[in-house]
Amino acid sequence: MTHPIPAADSPRIIPRSDHHISRANISRNALKVLYRLKDGGYQAFIVGGGVRDLLLNRQPKDFDIATDASPEQVRALFGSARIIGRRFRLVHVRFRDEIVEVATFRGLGNEDLESEDRQILNEAGRIIKDNSFGSIEEDAWRRDFTVNALYYNIADFSIWDFVGGMRDVEARRIRLIGDPETRYREDPVRMIRAVRLAAKLDLEIHPEAAAPMQRLGSLIDSVPPARLFDEFLKVFETGHALEGYRRLRQHGLFEHLFPATAAWLSGDVSQGRASGRPGGVADDHRNRFIESALAGTDRRVAEGLPVTPMFLFGVFLWGPVQDRANALRRTGQISEVQALIDAGQEITDVQIARITLPRRFSVPMREMLQLQPRFSRRQGRRAAVLLQHRRFRAAYDLLVLRTELGEVPAELAEWWMRIQTLSPDDQHREFNGGRGGGRDAQRPRPAERAV
Ligand code: ATP
Ligand code: MG
């Protein structure tokens, strides 16, 4: 077993008078669950991100509850509870507007949080025993960071700290529980999690936690792609994308998530187009292009607008796709449009082997990339059709970002912005090069297509 051996003594208990977590900031449903467990004779704590965020004066996005009651015992207490999870069973207590997750304390018997092999299977492959429950102390030691292993006790509103998490919250730093390298090897996603939490909460990553990242980053290469997609969403679609990206690059992790993008950013000659350009200059423009997109995503999240992972994936892949398209054009008889289609497919396939992007996102993403050359024609029927395309808006947003790369004159992006604000008649006039308009001219006539 590679886990640190828990100190055999009891936790440091921080009484209610010595911390500022108030029940007023805990969701009513979570409180209901905690009290019901307590009244049922069980221990009940809030643990993890909820406690951490409250101590840092942030509103937690949810409250996870840990208890010594078994899943069956928890379910027996709640009419609306359901046991979920095949490998580690949790209870979901459902309320009208919220699901509260209740987990039984987990033991140290297994290293990998995600691993399936803690179970003992019978010959038919059925689970006959899940011996993963443990004491609260073991539950604390198997978590990732000290700041994530604080327990808020509903019995007396104290905080239990087995691992020095309170000290680290006060110092605003992220520290692994136990030996960082060991804990990263057990689960390389912890490196990304450390960076993400640091970005989201503006924390420092303890030097001992940061040091192994450059060296161990390549362990991320073997993390299941679906898990990396979940992590991608948490890093890039929750309002801290720009900061997360900067820190991922700083710690040498970004290149393991988007290798082609990282190579393109560094102006790697093998990637094609950048050859002959001074790397620094390329990086500057290219990085600005990426960072503008991330800042835009953060703004949308802050404003409560919807965001889709297909857009940032498209932004990340745009440079590599273009490089590849140009290389294809140099080697064969292939149109610009076809080269972009083929390159989009190739680069996407390689990237998706690293981070899953479900088809409902990858298909529109490639459409968004393929539409780019069409913006250069402002007149004729194809331009009019482009404006009606269901990916127009995303493709237009990418066009605007491309001005950062110097690929698109600002004036062209402005033209496409303005046309969106016009009435259909005026749009039609624009697509006709300033001529025509009126009811009888809603559709471009054949003769005008050649303009
Ligand atoms: P967020 O605010 O993003 O939800 P979080 O810390 O709550 O942050 P979750 O993914 O919800 O993140 O995880 C809940 C808790 O489970 C964590 O606080 C941590 O204690 C534990 N945990 C999550 N992932 C890991 C991991 N990879 N290794 C060890 N413990 C983990
Ligand atoms: Mg959480």
Residue 39, domain CATH: 3.30.460.10
The CA distances from residue 102 to 8, 62, 81, 86, 431, in Å, are: 26, 12, 10, 15, 59
d(CA 106, CA 237): 30
Cα–Cα nearest to 80, from 100, 66, 60: 100
Ligand closest to Cα of 3 equals 1
Asked, for residue 357, whether it belongs to a domain, the answer is no
* Boundary of a domain, candidates 171, 195, 218: 171
What's residue 449's pLDDT? 36
- In angstroms, the first-to-last Cα distance of the chain is 73
Residue 84 lies in a domain: yes
Full DSSP string of 253-300? -HHHHSHHHHHHHTT-GGGSTTTTS-HHHHHHHHHHHHHHHHHHHHHH
Instruction: Give catalytic residues, as residue numbers.
Output: 62, 64, 144
**Which pLDDT value is given to residue 330?**
94
Q: Is 167 exposed, middle or buried, given 0-12, 13-18 or 19+ CB atoms closer than 10 A?
A: middle
With respect to residue 67, please indicate whether it lies within any of the assigned structural domains. Answer: yes
- With respect to residue 238, please indicate whether it lies within any of the assigned structural domains: no
275 in a structural domain: no
Domain boundary among 171, 198, 229: 171
pLDDT per 10-residue tile (average), the chain, 451 residues: 53 97 96 98 98 96 96 94 85 95 85 45 43 88 97 98 98 98 97 98 98 98 97 97 98 98 81 45 84 98 97 98 96 91 97 97 96 91 91 96 94 93 91 63 41 29
Give domain status of residue 89, yes or no: yes
How many C-beta neighbours within 10 Å does residue 119 have? 17
For residue 107, the enclosing domain spans 1-171
Does residue 339 lie in a domain region?
A: no
Nearest CA to ligand 1 atom 18: 48
DSSP label at residue 156: T
What's the structural domain count of the chain? 2
Ligand 1: which residue has its CA nearest to atom 30?
143
Q: What is the pLDDT of residue 145?
A: 98
> Could you say which of 155, 171, 187 is where a domain stops?
171
Among 144, 192, 202, the mutation site with the greatest number of ligand 1 atoms within 8 A of its Cβ is: 144
Q: What is the pTM of this model?
A: 0.88
Pocket around ligand 1 at a 6 A CB cut-off: 48-49, 61, 64, 113, 143-144, 148-149, 187, 189-190, 234
CA 353–ligand 2 middle distance (angstroms): 27
- Confirm whether 55 is domain-assigned: yes
Residues 318-342: pLDDT tens digits?
A: 999 999 999 999 998 899 999 999 9
pLDDT at 281: 54
